[in-house]
Amino acid sequence: MPEEVILQAQRELPDWDGQGFSLLETPFSGVKFKRLLGRTRDTLRELLKIPDHFHILFMHGGASAQFSLVPLNLLGDSKCAAYVDSGYWSRKAIHEAHRYCQVEHAAIAEDYIHTSTNTAYCHITSNETADGLQLSLALKASTPLIVDMTSDFLVRPIDFEPIGLIYAGAQKNIGPAGLTIVIVRDDLLGRAHALTPTVLNYTYQVEAGSLVNTPLTYSIYLANLVFQWIGHQGGITSMAKRSQTRSAMIYDVIDASEGFYRCDIPPDQRSRMNLCFKLPDEPLTQLFIDHAAWSGLVNLKGHVQKGGIRASLYNAMPDAGVVALADFMHRFRKQYADL
Ligand SMILES: Cc1ncc(COP(=O)(O)O)c(C=O)c1O
């Protein structure tokens, strides 16, 4: 979370919007909260230039719930959906989809994803958080693209032309965990399986303006502050440029390290959000993590199943942190490269 947002939230916690009590105590069905929800939706639409035939939903359950909700809501009469297997999180989505339909494994060839004619949609994970791999967003497919953008939402402009639905768990670039943004194309509504729970049915949520049940009011408030903060920073174009420059700074250190730091992802697929790399051995990796922590650089341990180092450069990460990491990596290598 950006520091400015945390401080504003702290100031406004006891008395929100001059009403003499906290937003936490504000009814979701009242005018004030509904106005906030509308503003939050409008700001997001403006930031990402979301066309009018897409609906924006604020849902519960995190991105993982969407692994089930996408097939439950979108398969309709179809028995098959295509999935691109790009790493850890797409495999989670595929595993869950198997419970609802046949999964066709789709491959990307020159920015195009070929699927069979009977597939309802094609699912991709635009940024593999655990693997450090990011897909091009110039992708096209013969069926609507469903994109898990949990870890690179609000970081790059989106061409909505091939998109059927985008979902993103909030905890990376939006706000607190649990809140999930879903952006769904109008013509994909009305296909939900009869057993889809009402609160998790996209069509009902669209009709109710995300208010089928009590929404995550405080998380939506924080998301609104973050969206405003992004606007003040120059919007999505500015976030995109920043993430390009910041990630290049660290990848340059890796590539100039003569093999001391190693990133196995091909340069054109390297994530600008989650930079994953390895050191020569396990003891050095642990030493890197310990020394980094002494320098105030924390949470650098790679994903539990992947090992190595992962530096996540989400929007709220200050530039000074990226410079400090690059400096630390230089110093660490100088000290330990030839031992
Ligand atoms: C790409 C991606 N998809 C899904 C998830 C799961 O999100 P949640 O914990 O909100 O269910 C994550 C979490 O890090 C993620 O990075």
pLDDT at 339 (0 to 100): 67
Tell me if residue 28 falls in helix, strand or coil: coil
User: In the structure encoding, which two tokens stand for residue 92, read together?
Assistant: 């989670």
Task: Report the alpha-carbon distance of residue 200 to residue 196 in Å, rounded.
Answer: 7
The domain of 103 spans 3-232
pLDDT at 71 (0 to 100): 98
Task: Report the alpha-carbon distance of residue 163 to residue 147 in Å, rounded.
Answer: 8
Residue indicated by tokens 């922590």: 293
Final residue in a domain of this structure, among 192, 214, 232: 232
pLDDT at 338 (0 to 100): 75
Q: In the chain, how long is the greatest CA-to-CA distance? A: 66
Cβ atoms of 73 and 63 closer than 8 Å: no
* Shared-domain flag, residues 196 and 133: yes
* Shared-domain flag, residues 100 and 198: yes
Query: Per-residue confidence of the chain (339 residues) as pLDDT tens digits?
Result: 999 999 999 999 999 999 999 999 999 999 999 999 999 999 999 999 999 999 999 999 999 999 999 999 999 999 999 999 999 999 999 999 999 999 999 999 999 999 998 999 999 999 999 999 999 989 999 999 999 999 999 999 999 999 999 999 999 999 999 999 999 999 999 999 999 999 999 999 999 999 999 999 999 999 999 999 999 999 999 999 999 999 999 999 999 999 999 999 999 999 999 999 999 999 999 999 999 999 999 999 999 999 999 999 999 999 999 999 999 999 999 999 976
pLDDT at 137 (0 to 100): 86
Residues acting as catalytic residues: 89, 148, 172
* Shared-domain flag, residues 178 and 262: no
Ligand 1 atom closest to residue 65's alpha carbon, by position in its atom list:
11
Pocket test for ligand 1, best of 89, 126, 133 (most atoms within 8 A of CB): 89
* Shared-domain flag, residues 120 and 220: yes
Final residue in a domain of this structure, among 183, 209, 232: 232
* Shared-domain flag, residues 94 and 10: yes
Ligand 1 atom closest to residue 149's alpha carbon, by position in its atom list:
1
* Shared-domain flag, residues 249 and 159: no
DSSP state of 210: T
* Shared-domain flag, residues 287 and 165: no
Q: What is the CATH number of the domain that holds 262?
A: 3.90.1150.10
* Shared-domain flag, residues 198 and 318: no
* Shared-domain flag, residues 115 and 199: yes
Q: Measuring CA to CA, which residue among 173, 145, 124, 178 is closest to residue 274? A: 173
Number of C-beta neighbours around residue 108 at 10 A: 15
Ligand 1 center from residue 94 Cα (angstroms): 14
Task: Report the alpha-carbon distance of residue 173 to residue 171 in Å, rounded.
Answer: 6
Q: Measuring CA to CA, which residue among 67, 120, 74 is closest to residue 96? A: 67
Task: List residues near ligand 1 (CB under 6 A).
Answer: 62-64, 89, 125, 129, 148, 150-151, 169, 171, 177
Task: Report the alpha-carbon distance of residue 95 to residue 110 in Å, rounded.
Answer: 26
Cβ atoms of 323 and 279 closer than 8 Å: no
Q: Measuring CA to CA, which residue among 13, 1, 20, 24 is closest to residue 216? A: 24
Q: What is the CATH number of the domain that holds 51?
A: 3.40.640.10
Domain count along the chain: 2
Please report the sign of the dihedral spanned by the C-alpha atoms of residue 103, residue 107, residue 108, residue 109.
Answer: negative
* Shared-domain flag, residues 183 and 302: no
Final residue in a domain of this structure, among 191, 217, 232: 232
* Shared-domain flag, residues 178 and 304: no
Ligand 1 atom closest to residue 64's alpha carbon, by position in its atom list:
11
Q: Measuring CA to CA, which residue among 55, 331, 16, 20 is closest to residue 210? A: 55
Ligand 1 center from residue 63 Cα (angstroms): 5
* Shared-domain flag, residues 155 and 264: no
